[in-house]
Every structure is written in C-alpha cells, then in structure tokens.
Structure 1
Amino acid sequence: MRKLIVTEFITIDGVAEHERLPNVAWTDEMQAFKEDELADSGAMLLGRVTYEIFAGHWPAEKGDFADRFNALPKYVASTTLKAVDWHPAELLEGPVTDAVTRLKQRSGGNIYVHGSVTLARQLLGVGLVDTLRLLVYPAAAGQGERLFPSGKQTALELVSAVPFSNGVVAMEYRAVAKA
C-alpha cells in the first residue's frame, strides 16, 4: 500500500498559511529536503487552491527538478474544478476520503500532499496520513490557517529532527495508529 505523506512549511505555532511564514533564506539544506521528497514521490495529491497556484507556476519552470516535478501524476481534490490541464492530472471523484483510500491502494510510489492545508487537515482528521514532513520556520505567526484540526488531538511519533543553518528545522513524524 502506498503511503500518504503531508509536507508543509509551517511556523512553530502550527500556522501553515504561506503568506504568514517569516522570510528566511532558502538554503542548500532546504533544497536537499525537497529533492529527497521528490525522489520518494510517486504522485501528488493537491487541493484546488494549491493545484491552481502550482499549475500557474511549475509548467514554465525549467531544469531537472522542475521536469521531474511536472512529470508526476497529480490528483486534485476539488468540488468546483471541472477540468485540470497540468498533465498528467485527474480530478478525484466522490467523497475525498474514499478517493484517497482508493489511491493509497493502487500501485505506485508514495503520494505527497504539498501545502493544501484544508485537504491535509481533513486527511489528518480521519487518519489517512502516514507521515508528516515539516519545515518548521523559526517564528510564531500568532494567527492564520493552522495545519492541525482545532480541538482534536493528533498523536505523532518523531522520526527525525534536523536543524538548518537558517533556523528552520526539518521534522518528520509518523502517524500513531488510534488504539
């Protein structure tokens, strides 16, 4: 079975809203983190907003990373989009939790959820996320869209934590099965 991995840029207080992240220098360490994800990825699962942002940006990018990123199969969770044109891509059909469960049962590499905070939060809430990969920024945003569902505990097991020279910490957590 494929793993579902959520990858987020996040502040120490759990805000994953891109506009609220502090400005930090992109480093070789951060690039290596993203390269590792790409090497491990068999597909992307995106919400509508992230899909539209990525589809408006990545097809014009050049280079090895962009070529590999663009070539990944993309699954889009949206109730408003009627078509997707950043290929290869397809819209998920039916309830998102059912569609993601079916995706995880298909053959292929791991499925990465990039950004897509609302979708990631929903999948965390129903226990479909296997791994969280976080680039934790050295600041508290104080307000903004949070990754973790409000009022609900999420049990995680730390796999690794690696501090980077710019103050960002790369953290990986494994979801703990509910007893």
Structure 2
Amino acid sequence: MGKIVITTNLSLDGVVQDPDGKEGFRLGGWFEQFGGKDLEPWARHETDETLAADALLLGRRSEEWFASRWAARIGEWADKLNSMPKYVVSSTFDHPRWGNATVLKGDVVTEVAKLKQDVAGEILVYASYQLGQTLIEHDLADELRLVVFPVVLGAGERLFGGTTDKKGLRLLGSRTLGDGLALLTYEIVR
C-alpha cells in the first residue's frame, strides 16, 4: 500500500500561492526572496526526498507548471522527477505535458484510494494545494512535509482550508534547512 506524502513550501502563515512570482499574485516571489542561501540545503533535501519516492501525484495546473520547468532539465533530481510515474488528477484534460504521466479521471477520492492500493512506497504530492486539501479532508494523506519560509504574507491561498472536523497530527521531526528554513514533518493521526 502506498503512502501519500504532501510536501510543500509555505510561508509562516501557511500561504502556498505563487512562490516564484510568475502567477501575478501581488505577494508572489517569496520563495527566492526569503529562501536566499538556504535554497541550496533545501534543494538537497528535495533531491533526497524525490530519490526515495516511487511516484508523484499532482493536480492539472501543477503538472503543467512542473512540466514546463523540469522536462528539459538533467541531473540527479531532474532525471528522477522526469522518469518516475506521475498521476494527474483532472476532469478537464487528457494529455499531460510531463512524461510518464497518467490522468486520473472520475471521483478524486475513489481514484486516489485506488492509487494507494496499486502503488507501493511513497507517493509525493507537490504544489497541489487544492488536491492536498481534498486528500486531508478525506483521510487519504498520510504525512505532511512542510518547508516553512521566514515570511508572513497575510493573504493568499493556503494549504489548509476548511475541514468538516478536526485533523490530528503527530510531529515526526523538525530541523532547519540552512539558517532560516524550517522542515516540519507530521504524521496524520486517524
């Protein structure tokens, strides 16, 4: 059985929107601005995490974003990302842009529950906050890996949306990446 791990970068107040500043959000661009020299240890962490994973699970917009930035790259991290199986949740398109990708159509909860049965190992969810909210709400996510950037944005889309009930978490680990980024790892308690 697969383990779904939501792994994302966010501000201290939980904003995940427009980290690179290319989406037009007035507060976008916080990733490089507040990551600075800590992005080197961040990249090592992300590479190690990817190398240990078995698949990616993405929303449509995230698949398009990653495909446009990673498909032509080479190197250890890029090679793994580009070759690993990818599953894209979408009801609006049939042709993913990134290689080795399968579109999951139909009910998200049903499709992802089936995916967890079919894929052994870690299934990473990158940058897909709406999908992440759905997975958390329906108890399909198993772990959260949050890289907290030292900035409060005060507005923007957040990973944690409304839920129908409390969602308990257990801290599995915390450490810094460089001098200013905090990596928090939580298990979702059922």
TM-score if structure 2 supplies the norm length? Answer: 0.87
2:139 is paired with a residue whose SS is coil
Name the % identity. 34
Amino acid at match of 2:43: Q
User: What's 1:6 paired with?
Assistant: 6
2: CA distance, partners of 1:107 / 1:77? 16
Structure 1 unmatched runs, 5+: none
Q: Which amino acid aligns with 2:8?
A: E
Which residue does the alignment assign to 1:76?
A: 88
**Which residue identity lines up with residue 15 of structure 1 in the other structure?**
V
Q: 2:166 pairs with 144, 153, 156, which one? A: 153
Task: Give the gaps of 5 or more residues in structure 2.
Answer: 22-27
Structure 2 counterparts to residues 103-118 of structure 1, below 5 A = 103-118=115-130
Query: For the residues of structure 1 that align with 2:79 and 2:90, how far apart are their CA atoms?
Result: 25
Letter matched to residue 153 of structure 1: K
Task: State the Cα deviation string for residues 37-57 of structure 1 (Å, max 9, x = none).
Answer: 112210000001100011111
Asked if the contact 1:46/1:75 (under 8 Å) is kept, the reply is yes
Matched, 1:140 2:147: no
Runs of 4+ in 1 over 6 A off after TM superposition: none
- Equivalent pairs counted in the alignment come to 177
What TM-score do the two structures reach when normalised by structure 1?
0.92
In the TM superposition, what is the alpha-carbon distance from 1:64 to its structure 2 partner? 1.9
Please give the alpha-carbon distance, in whole angstroms, between the structure 2 residues aligned to 1:43 and 1:84: 15
**Which has the larger displacement, 150-159 or 138-147?**
150-159
Counterpart in 2 of 1:46?
A: 58
Determine if contact 1:125/1:149 at 8 Å carries over to the other structure: no
